[in-house]
Amino acid sequence: MANYIVRRLLQLIPVLFGITFLSFMLIHFIPGDPVTVILGEHASPERAAELREQLGLNDPLYKQYLKFLNNLLHGDLGRSIITHEKVLKELATFFPATVELTLAAMFIATIIGIAAGIVAAVKQYSWFDNLSMIGALTGVSMPIFWLGLMLIYLFAQVLGWLPPSARLSIEYSVPTVTNLYLIDTLLAGNWAAFKDALAHLILPALALGTIPMSIIARMTRSSMLEVLRQDYIRTARAKGLGEATVILKHALKNAFLPVVTVIGLQFGYLLGGAVMTETVFSWPGVGRYIYQAIMARDFPVVQGSITIIALIFVLINLIVDILYTVIDPRIRYQ
């Protein structure tokens, strides 16, 4: 196992190299000029040329890329062209909000998705099976921004049950420990602020978790149906085991491998793809940070953010692979 983990970690090097190269080239081929964004369209050519030289934009692309790689090896993702702050420092500010939102979305998606998938498989062709699979298909097909706006309209504007945006009401303040508001409010013993942070989290987490919830439900149902047809399940029932024991102990455990894969992949996708949700709900996370950087042609911010998200994504895949051996000890990596 240790050799396998070391080998997988070494494999990350060419993967990350390829990701940084492709993202660097794509970013620099996007139409638009950061100098124009900073100075405006009416800046003098002399001032524009001076700023372009200061930012290193006159250097050939390969020199700019090698400079980025050199800085990356020293733990430096560069400075924002717009704010002049270090990218790593700004990412550390925005990242906890995205992590909190992603964890909440995956919690909702995993609990509801697995439960719905199990019941749909056990009650195959029942009204619940048909209804849940129609719901899953609808969830996968629904654009996140549209769903987010509908949730805001229904639960915030019409019913008034939940706040429409932001992470916390202005009357509350939370001492920063982890920058995860649910944890920080608990550590501070401020229950009113905890309830307020939870209320702000529900709608964006539900919007972000709808697509993975649908995918997990469909995968769980499919995998459970395949396992429930196996001989050892019939044997377990013939031995007189209760239906709950057969489903939860024997069937679910063996059906869980593909579900774990989907959960790991969806977690990585959510972490890097929460742009629309964070924009709709004014959530101060990495998604909005990257969106604003793209609009401003802030190349170091976009490049640094993509690199960090890619690193997290491949590490999540590594964790999923390791979990395989925990769930099914028959699997051994050589």
Around Cβ 205, how many Cβ atoms within 10 Å? 25
**Number of folded domains that form the chain:** 2
In angstroms, what CA-CA distances link 237 with 120, 161, 245, 275, 333? 19, 46, 9, 48, 33
In this structure, what are the phi and psi dihedrals at residue 330, rounded to the nearest 5 degrees? -65, -20
pTM: 0.81
The answer on 128 and 56 residing in a single domain is no
The domain containing residue 106 runs over which residues?
90-331
The answer on 313 and 244 residing in a single domain is yes
In angstroms, the CA 98 to CA 127 distance is 37
pLDDT of the residue at 329: 66
Average pLDDT value over all residues in the chain: 84
Residue 79 belongs to a domain: no
Q: What are the pLDDT digits (tens) for 188-237?
A: 888 999 999 999 999 999 999 999 999 999 999 999 898 888 888 888 88
The arithmetic mean of pLDDT across residues 43-68, rounded, is 80
pLDDT of the residue at 74: 85
- The amino acid occupying position 122 is V
The answer on 215 and 166 residing in a single domain is yes
| Percent of the chain's residues with pLDDT above 90 | 22
Residue 83 belongs to a domain: no
The answer on 99 and 31 residing in a single domain is no
- The amino acid occupying position 234 is R
Residue 82 belongs to a domain: no
The answer on 149 and 285 residing in a single domain is yes
pLDDT of the residue at 26: 79
Q: Is the pLDDT of residue 16 over 70?
A: yes
The answer on 284 and 169 residing in a single domain is yes
Least confident of 44-58, 129-143, 171-185, 301-315: 44-58
Residue 6 belongs to a domain: yes
Are 121 and 224 in contact by the 8 Å Cβ rule? The answer is yes
CATH number, domain at 161? 1.10.3720.10
The answer on 25 and 102 residing in a single domain is no
User: To which H or E segment does residue 248 belong?
Assistant: none
The answer on 29 and 133 residing in a single domain is no
The answer on 94 and 67 residing in a single domain is no
Residue 186 belongs to a domain: yes
From 74, 100, 118, the end of a domain falls on 74
CB hemisphere CA count around 316 (13 angstroms): 19
From 18, 39, 74, the end of a domain falls on 74
